[in-house]
A and B are shown apart, each in its own frame.
Chain A
Amino acid sequence: MDKWIFLIPLLPFLGFLVNGLLGRRLGDRAVAIIGCASVAGAFAISVASFMQVYDAKPDTFLQQDFGAWIQAGDLSVSFGLIIDSLSGVMCLVVTGVGLLIHVYSTGYMKGDAGYYRFFAYLNLFMASMLVLVTADNIVLMFLGWEGVGLCSYLLIGFWYKGLANCSAGIKAFVVNRIGDLGFLLGIFAIWAACGSFEFSAIVAEAPNIDSSAAFWICLLLFVGACGKSAQIPLYVWLPDAMAGPTPVSALIHAATMVTSGVYLLARLGPLFDAAPGVLTIVATIGALTALLAALIAFSQNDIKKVLAYSTVSQLGYMFLAAGMGAYSVAIFHVVTHAFFKALLFLGAGAVIHSLHHEQDMRRMGGLRRRLPWTFALYLIGGLALSGFPLTAGFFSKDEILHIAHSGFGNIEPRSVLWSIGLLTALLTAFYTFRQIALVFFGSYRGASEPQASEESAAHGLELDKVKESPLSMRIPLIVLAALSLTGGFLAIPHFLQPGIEIPEDGKISGLIIGGIVSIAGIAAALTIYLRFPQALKGFLSSAPGKLAHRLSSRKFYVDEIYQKLIIRPIAIIAEICFYVVDRLIIDIILVHGSSFGASALGHLLRRLQDGRTPTYAAWFLAGAILVLAVTLWAAGG
Chain B
Amino acid sequence: MSITLTLLIPVATALLLLCIPKDKTAELRITALFGSLATLAFSLALLGGFDAQYGAGFQFTEKHEWVPSLQVHYHVGIDGISLFLVVLSALLTPIAILCSWKSVEKRVREFHIALLLLTSGVIGVFVALDLLLFYVFWEVMLIPMYLLVGIWGGTERIRAAVKFFIYTMAGSLLMFLAILYLYQHTGTFSVEDIYQKPPLTGTAGLLCFLAFALSFAIKVPLFPVHTWLPDAHTEAPTAGSVILAGVLLKLGIYGFIRFAIPFFPEAAVLAAPWISVLAIIGIIFGALMCFVQEDMKRLIAYSSVSHMGFVVLGLFAFNEQGVQGCVLQMVNHGISTGALFLLIGAIYERRHTRRIIDFGGLAPVAPKLAIIFFITTLSSIGLPFLNGFVGEFLILQGAYSRNIFYAAFAGLGIILGAIYMLTLYRRIFFGETDREENAEMKDLDGRELAFLLPLVGLMVFLGLFSPWFTAKVQPSIEVWMTLLLERGG
Contacts and interface: CB of A to CB of B under 8 A. Distances in A.
Given A69-B466, A147-B384, A631-B181, A177 B430 contact: no
Contacts of B423: 170
B321 A75 contact: yes
Contact of B431 (A68, A143, A161): A161
Contacts of B177: 627, 630-631, 634
A188 B411 CA distance: 12
A75 B470 CA distance: 11
Contacts of B321: 72-73, 75
Contacts of B412: 181
A45 interface: no
B288 A578 contact: yes
Nearest to B469: A71
A510 to B, nearest CB: 42
Contact of A174 (B167, B291, B418): B418
A635 interface: yes
B419 A170 contact: yes
A153 B419 CA distance: 12
B203 A637 contact: yes
A72 B394 contact: yes
A584 to B, nearest CB: 11
B247 to A, nearest CB: 23
Interface string A135-169: 00001001100110010010001001111001101
Contact of A73 (B324, B426, B429): B324
Contacts of A173: 418, 422
Contact of B415 (A68, A181, A587): A181
A577 interface: yes
Given A72-B325, A74-B320, A192-B401, A185 B407 contact: yes
Contact of B385 (A71, A143, A153, A184): A143
A160 B430 contact: yes
A117 to B, nearest CB: 10
Interface stretch (A331-339, A499-507, A567-575): A567-575
Contacts of B419: 170, 174
B385 A161 contact: no
A595 B320 CA distance: 41
A152 to B, nearest CB: 13
A188 B167 CA distance: 38
B304 to A, nearest CB: 14
Contacts of A177: 414-415, 418
Contacts of A631: 177, 180-181, 184
Contacts of B384: 142-143, 146-147
A586 interface: yes
Given A70-B394, A574-B292, A161 B415 contact: no
A581 interface: yes
Nearest to B401: A192
A104 B394 CA distance: 42
Nearest to B170: A594
Given A161-B430, A188-B397, A634-B184, A147 B385 contact: yes
A69 B384 CA distance: 11
Nearest to A170: B422
A188 B431 contact: no
A70 B418 contact: no
A173 B426 CA distance: 13
Given A69-B464, A582-B289, A163 B431 contact: yes
A1 interface: no
Nearest to B383: A146
A191 interface: yes
B390 interface: yes
B197 interface: no
A163 B396 contact: no
Interface in B404-449: 404, 407-408, 411-412, 414-415, 418-419, 422-423, 426, 429-432
A427 to B, nearest CB: 34
A146 B321 CA distance: 22
Given A146-B383, A634-B184, A178 B415 contact: yes
B324 A72 contact: yes
A184 B422 contact: no
Interface in B384-398: 384-385, 389-390, 393-394, 396-397
Nearest to A71: B467
B124 interface: no
Contacts of A634: 177, 181, 184, 204, 207
A contact patch SS: helix
B166 interface: yes
B35 to A, nearest CB: 34
A184 B408 CA distance: 9
B17 interface: no
A268 interface: no
A73 B320 contact: yes
A591 interface: yes
B383 A70 contact: no
A209 interface: no
Nearest to B322: A72
Interface in B199-224: 203-204, 207, 224
A74 B394 CA distance: 12
Among A167, A191, A582, the one with the most B-chain Cβ atoms within 10 Å of its Cβ is A582
Contacts of B166: 595
A482 interface: no
B418 A188 contact: no
Contact of A188 (B385, B400, B415): B400
B317 to A, nearest CB: 11
Interface string A101-125: 0000000000000000000000000
A71 B469 CA distance: 9
Contact of B319 (A73, A166, A188, A581): A73
Interface in B163-196: 163, 166-167, 177, 180-181, 184-185
Contacts of A157: 426, 430
A189 interface: yes
Nearest to B324: A72
Nearest to B184: A635
Nearest to B432: A161
A591 B467 CA distance: 43
Contacts of A578: 288-289, 292
B404 to A, nearest CB: 8
B363 interface: yes
B394 A188 contact: no
A173 B321 CA distance: 27
Interface in B209-248: 224, 227
A273 B278 CA distance: 39
B285 interface: yes
B361 interface: yes
B264 to A, nearest CB: 14
A577 B224 CA distance: 12
A185 B411 contact: yes
Contacts of A191: 397
Given A73-B319, A161-B432, A578-B292, A188 B396 contact: yes
Interface string B279-315: 0000001001101100000000000000000000000
A173 B422 CA distance: 9
A565 B378 CA distance: 28
Given A177-B418, A591-B163, A71 B430 contact: no
Given A73-B320, A163-B431, A189-B400, A577 B470 contact: no
7 contacts: A150-B383, A189-B404, A573-B288, A631-B180, A631-B184, A634-B177, A634-B184
Closest 8 interchain pairs by CB? Answer: A73-B320, A72-B324, A143-B384, A188-B400, A574-B291, A635-B184, A574-B288, A160-B430
Given A578-B288, A634-B177, 5 more contacts: A71-B467, A72-B474, A147-B385, A161-B432, A189-B404
Interface of B: 163, 166-167, 177, 180-181, 184-185, 203-204, 207, 224, 227, 285, 288-289, 291-292, 319-321, 324-325, 361, 363, 378, 383-385, 389-390, 393-394, 396-397, 400-401, 404, 407-408, 411-412, 414-415, 418-419, 422-423, 426, 429-432, 464, 466-467, 470-471, 474, 477
